[in-house]
Structure 1
């Protein structure tokens, strides 16, 4: 069953997309069978019901505005954030950057099952492509904004291993970083006083004897707040950059235009195999139940009943994520949010944890999915064919909680699996501009450089 998060997200517009997919699920069996193409047929015309469903999947508009981040859309912030995204100085060993686990050449994910920073990460790094459209971040939804999400990897001992005071010192000491930062956010605190602002300090609630935590607790409350403000300003700049990582205008989008206009040339953007795969996606596969809307995700959490893997520990997923996001000082209702009473704040206000959350993970977008293997929260499957075959069989043993009740074995033929995979590859959008995939020469934006 859908989680109560999906129910509440209806308030912010997801319900319309879900209602269309539920209509598909409740269609008479005869109609669904009739609409499912056989391997040797050519789907030239979709039913009116299917056409309406298809038109709800495209086009992908502009990302929703994150009201908690006032600098989204500020090119100065995006340039600073992009520079820091690729900067290995934001790590304990000066070797790890955000791009280490979010590689531009791999759909801003990695080809390995798990990420690897200072040490190995417990999950597969999700793609950052189209991440600006999400409501929750991380596989368990433990943060509620792109900027809040970035805090965790920076200070995680297995990822970048940095500290928030170390970050503030870096910005303060580097003339270009300081110039870029202060042009956007105003004057930095005076980090020259090492007694007030230790080189390495961060909260470590689970380890009160940790040197970083002791140093953090020894700081004056107002100094801790000042450092937190630097930290969140930096991560908001990173989010301003990541919001630009949008790949759309896929062959599927051209096909939908053609379907709406009756333009056969545009409809030819999909091969016959891809059209059959789309028909299966809507009908027999009922994939649209969860992968709905123009970003091909319902934005909520589900338990697929994935079996164990040697490289993974048991993971409670959303069960733990609800608690983390609710208690985070960096959530949408916290002091560092730029709008505490907006939609994201309402999501936190209405958020509760139930037994259904055990073992649930976020539905990923399917746009650009062919670029980001392996798949699932633990890199469970190496190929899209393996993913679709899993849904066809559902023959793995559930680890925690129970499998989503809507899931039933699909019993797809080899040809049908190939057709669904072919359709998924039609969701790959136009490449990003090359300048967005690498570190800029300076953290100072071009406009600032032109007007010193």
Structure 2
């Protein structure tokens, strides 16, 4: 049973939760620093104009939500910030020939017109998938990728959908051939990585390993290749992934109405900001104050990057069957393309050490990564199964926790019903809509042709 508490008490409850979770989490360096504090501006003008009472503590949290840092370097990918690699990755992202039937590309599910998501409850590639498509906007700021965190870099994550049976169902041998046989792609590739390998004419039409331990015709064909040929193909495959990773590092957004509001307040000469009205300010006050949303959605990406089981009821009813982070930890450790693997460009650095040190626990069962809230109003539906169609549905769930299934052992410290009024739900939605920004690199925010 979920025991209700007052929202005023919720903030201190969450602080305890973060302390407990830190002791048993696998988070990396993406968790925001909530310890630093600088003097708050005079908030009297904001309070009087908008009918709120923003506290100094709340303003510290708000400021940190607007202070988007420069991207951290990714030493596991030596071309992570190479413009030529980003341009090649841009082309690869929209390339359907990598799929088994030539109909599906990365952009099929990550559509620029839909904030690099797809607007569907669950992704539709070659087959229907089981999870909602997360946006790749601002994904470069995340330590773990996908809902369960089974990838630790953009480049490694980009490789999985190409061969996933439900997504693109391609194979790395065919993909390498496609690049080799396309004069323009081959030229772009070789300008970055050197000559493409010579592949024997005797190779099968298709071949790839499986990641799930099963065997099929394609994995048997892969196993029959000699080790040098497999390595040559893998290296090209990895380089394509690293180019895709470089491209996705360009998919950043910023200058949202919320960001402009914080800049205006901190300037000491506050002027109201278009698209950040009274309702948005009231919603921000709730978000950073009594509602306690900041406890999981803190920092410049409005996420701590932690994994939680918040009890969202499965769409099919009954108890959850998706293990989430529980299986993902081992998948990540077994991934030959992780930060510690032989194809990483930094096998001894902090990212590699973090992967090697990951320890799984049954407590991870059913936990999913807390998503960023930047661009959230553009990426419906919500939750890992696309359970909720609108932000209003999400907030009503948090308000009542109606239908919530049994949560993990941290549940009583992490989540309580918020008991929101109708006006509070409207105000929070107004704030969340203010997190829609504009692309930082517009030339990469649309197809390359």
SS of the aligned residue for 2:185 comes to helix
Say whether residues 1:91 and 2:99 are aligned partners.
Answer: yes
Paired position in structure 2 for 1:354: 361
Q: Does residue 165 of structure 1 match 2:182? A: no
1:251 deviates by 0.8
Q: Distance in 2 between matches of 1:68 and 1:382?
A: 37
**How is 1:94-173 mapped onto 2 (pairs within 5 angstroms)?**
94-173=102-181
CA shift digits 1:404-442 (9 cap, x unpaired):
33100000001001101110111111246553233324x
Alignment map for 1:391-430 (pairs within 5 Å): 391-398=398-405, 401=408, 404-405=411-412, 406-430=414-438
Q: Is the 8 A contact 2:68 2:301 kept in 1?
A: yes
Larger displacement relative to structure 2 (54-63 or 204-213):
204-213
Q: How many Å separate the matches in 1 of 2:369 and 2:340?
A: 22
Please report the RMSD computed on the Cα atoms of aligned residues, expressed in angstroms. 2.4
Say if 1:122 and 1:413 are closer, same or farther in 2 by CA, change over 3 A. Answer: same
Q: Deviations over 1:120-142 (max 9, x none)?
A: 01101100010000000110000
Aligned-pair distance for 1:300? 1.4
- In the other structure, the counterpart of 1:259 is 265
Change (3 A) 1:44 1:258: farther
Deviation for aligned residue 1:282 = 1.4
Q: Flag the 1:13–1:216 CA change in 2: closer, same or farther, 3 A.
A: closer
The one-character-per-residue Cα deviations of 1:363-409 (angstroms, maximum 9, x if unpaired) are 10000111100011110111011111111111223267457331000
Q: Alpha carbons of 1:323 and 1:189: their partners in 2 closer, same or farther (altered >3 Å)?
A: same
Q: 8 Å contact 2:30–2:143 — kept in the other structure?
A: no
In 2, the alpha carbon distance for the partners of 1:161 and 1:137 equals 20
| Structure 1 gaps, min length 5 | 22-37, 442-452
Report what 2:41 is aligned to: none
Deviation at 1:84, TM superposition (A): 1.0
* CA drift at 1:219: 0.9
Contact kept in structure 2, 1:375 and 1:387, CA below 8 Å: yes
User: What pairs with 1:6-405 in structure 2 (closer than 5 Å)?
Assistant: 7=25, 9=27, 12=29, 14=31, 16-17=33-34, 42-44=50-52, 46-191=54-199, 193-195=200-202, 197-204=203-210, 206=212, 209-266=215-272, 270-310=276-316, 314-398=321-405, 401=408, 404-405=411-412
Q: Is the 8 A contact 2:314 2:385 kept in 1?
A: no
Which segments of 5 or more consecutive residues in structure 2 lack a partner in the other structure?
1-16, 38-46
Measured at CA, do residues 372 and 206 of structure 1 come closer, stay the same or move farther in structure 2, by a change above 3 Å? closer
Separation in 2 of the partners of 1:162 and 1:268? 46
How many residues in Structure 1 have an aligned counterpart in Structure 2?
A: 421
**TM-score for both structures, normalised by structure 1:** 0.88
* Structure-2 separation of matches of 1:400 and 1:217: 42
Deviations 1:288-329 (A, max 9, x none): 001011111101101110112039972000001111111111
In 2, distance between residues paired with 1:178 and 1:208? 33
Change (3 A) 1:188 1:6: farther
